Structure 1
Amino acid sequence: MEIRGKVHEIGATQQVTESFKKRDLIVAYAENPQFVEYIRFEATQDRVNIFDNLAIGDDIEVSFNLRGRPWTNKEGVTTYFNSLVAWRVTKLANTAPAATAPGMPEMPPVDISSSGADDDDLPF
């Protein structure tokens, strides 16, 4: 699975046990810009370094696996956990249109298809 968003936060590598380490990445996902979602991805073991070349604000695409597992407590109640495990992160080129200079209003599009004359020389 893949998702595109902006880097919001990059966590430090955590040594959970002697043989297990992980690192979190928070991505601001704005499918609807009014309601930005902050999604936590994790990288584990030798993949914790895939977040090294990222900076807050970078536009990225995260490739990840969705994992789920049950956990049963002492009272016998089972709870289910989901994890988004990142295995690749790609920086995206900034493809957004250039912003208007501060103080300059955005100009409306101009229709250049009509010259004002009534003679239409198109064959169709």
Structure 2
Amino acid sequence: MSYEVTGKLVAKYDTVQRTETFKTREFVIEKSDDIGGRIINNYVKFQCVQDKTALPDKFNIGDDIKVSFNLKGTKWSKDGRENYITNLDAWRLEAAGSLAQTAINNAPDNFVPDAAPDDVVDDLPF
């Protein structure tokens, strides 16, 4: 199952080579919620894995971004104790807020954002 959240990018970390064939990179967004006139800030850390580790590179600290991610959990045992780890695996980052509006304003007239194959109009004469 996939989830989405929007927030301000507040930290991005270096890529870590975990094994010879596996690498990860973490980043953090600040998500602010208005609860009865009181602003609550939550800091959410995500990880990107393998070919997705470059995703944060196109954004700067302070940018508003929308993160698409999967929720994953792992169970492991050591010395007779069980432990559980939850990961938020980001697989897509998009501009949000004013950054997204700037991208839309600068797009070519014939640009269709996030068009599904069925949405593309084929106006070729043959």
Q: What TM-score results when the alignment is normalised by the length of structure 2?
A: 0.70
Give SS of 2:46's match.
Answer: strand
Give SS of 1:2's match.
Answer: strand
Give SS of 1:57's match.
Answer: coil
Q: Among residues 39, 56, 62, which one is paired with 2:61 in the alignment?
A: 56
Tell me, in whole angstroms, the C-alpha distance in 2 between the residues paired with 1:66 and 1:60. Answer: 18
Please state how far the C-alpha of 1:63 moved relative to its aligned partner. 0.1
2:25 equivalent in structure 1: 23
Q: Among residues 73, 92, 98, which one is paired with 1:68 in the alignment?
A: 73
**Letter of the 1:54 counterpart:** F
Tell me, in whole angstroms, the C-alpha distance in 2 between the residues paired with 1:90 and 1:49. Answer: 13
Runs (4+) of structure 1 moved beyond 4 Å? Answer: none
**Letter of the 2:56 counterpart:** F
Instruction: Name whichever structure is richer in helix by fraction.
Output: 2
Tell me, in whole angstroms, the C-alpha distance in 2 between the residues paired with 1:72 and 1:13. Answer: 26
Instruction: Name whichever structure is richer in strand by fraction.
Output: 2
1:84 counterpart = 2:84? no
Count the aligned residue pairs. Answer: 94
Please state how far the C-alpha of 1:53 moved relative to its aligned partner. 0.3
Tell me, in whole angstroms, the C-alpha distance in 2 between the residues paired with 1:56 and 1:4. Answer: 14
**Letter of the 1:23 counterpart:** R
Please state how far the C-alpha of 1:68 moved relative to its aligned partner. 0.3
Tell me, in whole angstroms, the C-alpha distance in 1 between the residues paired with 2:32 and 2:68. Answer: 17
Please state how far the C-alpha of 1:35 moved relative to its aligned partner. 2.1
2:11 equivalent in structure 1: 9
Identity of counterpart residues, as a percentage? 35
Mark the runs of 5 or more structure 2 residues left unpaired by the alignment. Answer: 100-126
Tell me, in whole angstroms, the C-alpha distance in 2 between the residues paired with 1:18 and 1:5. Answer: 33
Mark the runs of 5 or more structure 1 residues left unpaired by the alignment. Answer: 96-124
Tell me, in whole angstroms, the C-alpha distance in 2 between the residues paired with 1:78 and 1:70. Answer: 7
Please state how far the C-alpha of 1:34 moved relative to its aligned partner. 2.6
